[in-house]
Chain A
Amino acid sequence: MAPAASKLYADDVSLLMVLIDTNPFFWNSINTSLSFSKFISNVLAFLNSILLLNQLNQVVVIATGYNSCDYIFDSSALQNHNQKGESLLQKLEEFVDKDESLCRDDSVDGPGFSLLSGSLSMALCYIQKVFRSGPLHPRPRILCLHGSPDGPGQYVAIMNAIFSAQRSMVPIDSCIIGAQHSAFLQQASYITSGIYLKPQLLDGLFQYLTTVFATDLHSRSFLQLPKPVGVDFRAACFCHKNTIDMGYICSVCLSIFCKHHKKCSTCGSVFGQAQTQDSSTPDRKRKTSVDN
């Protein structure tokens, strides 16, 4: 739902939702000049500068943990404006404690996966609340500072969140601080017309943040920002992971196969007879599936 006939106070008032990756296994496993403390100090300085840009700007920070996600900072709910940094760090510590208490694995191999789908959903819920708060509200956007690799089990949830953001016209910007690119966030930024960036020099993270991610939505229409390289979104079949152009799709769960199967391996629906190949229409992909 687009924000209904919202009149902004000014064009460049923004609500920035920052999702920071606090997956301890990820931070433990990287070996660079960017330690977690440096990262947090860069982010804090960045948040301060956002709040300085416009008096009405709002910032909300959500921590993406290994087992849970939580809000750790809300600039509009703050009593004492001088204690922003302290309160954020305080809440962050409490969050880490809570996350540890929820941890069921004794040890983890490699960087592990953080709960990006959870924090995206929380951000979108907050944004919806803001939309419904009245006709005057800032323009929201989401910034993901993400480093952990993509979790395969979160695919469906993240795609749903992305489509929901697209519908509400909320751009998702992504800044990748990890070792590898993230297909999820690339898709997210592409679909919602946000910015995707993987900084080359992590030492200058603050510079990246202020140059690229501090721009509000109104200014983006006339500022030149880094363009995405172009992503290959072609489908690959579920059985062999080969890229295919024409194939068979299960009409129940939309999984793609390159050959005709009797039964869908993802959802278990039984397929009917294959269509004859001599139909003149090129749309030979659909197959009927019969429910059990």
Chain B
Amino acid sequence: MYSLLVPSFCAINKLSSALFQGGNYIFEFDSFADRDICREFVAAAIAFHGETGKSTSEKPAAALQDEQLSTAEMEHRIKLLQEDNELQRLHKQFVIGGILTEAEFWATRKKLLDQNDRRKPKQRVALKNEMWSVKPLSDGQSNRVTFNLTPEIIHQIFAEKPAVRQAYLKFVPNKMSEKEFWTKYSRAEYLHSTKNVVAAAAEAAEDEELAVFLKQDDMLTNEARRKIRRVDPTLDMEADVGDDYMHLPDHGLLREESKDVLDSQYEPYRRYFSQDLNQHAAVVLQGRVVDVELGDTRSVAEALARTKQAELANEVSDGNLEKDLSHRISRVAEIEDLQGPRDLAVAPLCIKDPRDYFDSQQANALKPLGDAGSGVKTLKFNVSSVEAYGSLRELISEIRVTGLSEPITDPEVAFKVLSGLTQNISSTKYHLGKSPHESILDSLPKVTKEDLLHHWTSIQELLKHFWSSYPITTKYLYTKVTRLKDAMSQVYPKLQVHFVLLDNYNCFLYNGLPTCVYNFSCIFSLNSRKLRNLCSQISGIKFPYLSNQCFRL
């Protein structure tokens, strides 16, 4: 237990080294402030050590090997280990366990190391879908209402309301400062939120700049008119048929619009929610049009203005649109039945004799089944169709006359069948792997399965290194091979633990597991006889000797 009154330098050092070694510690403090300071520090220290822990442990190993690794290389390796859990486990087991050296471990993974870090493409963040509605922070005591405007929100306001953007470019910094501008804007928003159109009109009459914010946006209306003219008439409205909100006012959105009939002088000050919503949706779907730093409001406004100008110019100059539209209309509106046949771009497939496929299959398919004589013999003689059908009809009428016999089957025959089936089923009960849908691994409990798979990958790794060291020509290779062999033989007792545990489960798989153990043991051609005997001791089944078996779980 460490007791800290004031985090001193040497205490911090001690803490660092203690954290590096691992273990759990409890700290006692006298005041909350101290605890907070210490907690921040400890969090930072842990993060630092978590990342560099591997590099520090690798350093001694690397130093031993006299290998010059650049820091970039080391970082790359650390990153690879951090990303792949399995790789990290193997690394810990072999390199830190001293079975393989660092160089040997990475020697087989050259491809991973060479991979450049080009994996993460720069992802662009889209616009927020939240509509910036007035949710001012107001404390109930005073009459102040606070608005929070972040650069992100400002960007969105400029994108959605071109009138505001234009006003900004015009007024700031000539007529008013930025703060004043936004204060006025917030006032306008507040007035809108009260939904008091009359009050809005009154204030607009007094303040000219405020009026800009309160009036309806002319630029938007022009834009909308332009868009309507360019709507694609081939748009398939069928897709909307299922959307059942057309009959609800306001598309089912709860919004109280005042239904009072106002004088025409107030009309310009009225805001329609559906318009706002549509404009917002259009802006969000368009995405980020400008790639400017959001900090500088002016540059954002200018950039947006420029893009809008460019769009407008493009539209005007693009006369092709009309042609495209008419092409599309003629294509969609055509009636297929009335069109002549079109030339296909590809030659039709003509398979001359599909029986070829069958013959190539038959060659193999029936061999393993053998010819189970069941007392059914085929007499190959030529039968006339009249005769054949005639006899079939006779047999049918025979049944109709006699009906079902009782008993339907002779009981002795039935008993023979039943016992034959039972024997057949019980003898093949433990045959796994014949059906594509069974897997011995899946029926094991999850922990066991993961453990077994981990053992498998580690054995693979060891074997890779083992076989790559043959032929043994130097002493170094000899020691390496011995090291690997020892490591491999250590895996076996670990597996034994599993078998003992599973024995207690009493699941029918137990009979199937020795199969995988057996296959497993054949790989260890060094000690195969010993391991085989061990296997048979556990399961009580004698295994035949087979020399080369590929590993199969």
Contacts and interface: CB of A to CB of B under 8 A. Distances in A.
B387 A28 contact: yes
Given A45-B404, A255-B357, A109 B413 contact: no
A267 B351 contact: yes
Given A86-B400, A198-B374, A41 B408 contact: yes
B408 A42 contact: yes
Contact of A208 (B359, B380, B403, B417): B417
A126 interface: no
A29 B368 contact: no
Contacts of B369: 181, 186, 229, 231
Interface string B383-405: 11111110111011111101111
A78 interface: no
A263 B78 CA distance: 54
B363 interface: yes
Contact of B375 (A32, A100, A191): A32
Contact of B392 (A24, A180, A226, A252): A24
Interface string B350-370: 111111111111111111110
A183 B413 contact: no
Interface in A31-50: 31-37, 40-42, 44-45
Contacts, number: 248
B425 A108 contact: no
Interface stretch (B277-285, B313-321, B432-440): B432-440
Contact of B413 (A201, A224, A237): A201
Nearest to B352: A266
Q: How large is the interface on A (under 10, 10 to 19, 20 to 34, 35 or more residues)?
A: 35 or more
Nearest to A25: B388
A291 interface: yes
Interface string A7-43: 0000000000000001011011111111111001110
A48 B95 CA distance: 69
A98 B437 CA distance: 42
Contact of B380 (A41, A110, A292): A110
Contacts of B386: 100
A150 interface: yes
A129 interface: no
Contacts of B436: 190-191, 193
Contacts of A89: 396, 399-400
A122 interface: no
A86 B397 CA distance: 11
A69 to B, nearest CB: 15
Contacts of A53: none
A40 B408 CA distance: 11
B395 A35 contact: yes
B389 A180 contact: no
A74 interface: no
A6 B462 CA distance: 49
Contact of A155 (B358, B417, B421): B358
Given A24-B392, A29-B381, A232 B368 contact: yes
A228 B435 contact: yes
Nearest to A158: B358
Given A100-B385, A152-B355, A201 B360 contact: no
Interface in B395-453: 395-400, 402-405, 408-410, 413-414, 416-418, 420-421, 424-426, 428-429, 431, 434-437
B368 A208 contact: no
A93 B393 contact: yes
B316 to A, nearest CB: 46
Contacts of B416: 201, 204
Contacts of A33: 375
A227 to B, nearest CB: 4
B332 to A, nearest CB: 29
Given A85-B404, A202-B376, A266-B351, A236 B367 contact: no
Given A36-B392, A150-B362, A238-B356, 12 more contacts: A85-B404, A86-B400, A89-B396, A103-B389, A108-B383, A108-B385, A152-B359, A156-B354, A193-B437, A208-B417, A224-B426, A266-B357
Interface of B: 346-347, 349-369, 371-372, 374-389, 391-393, 395-400, 402-405, 408-410, 413-414, 416-418, 420-421, 424-426, 428-429, 431, 434-437
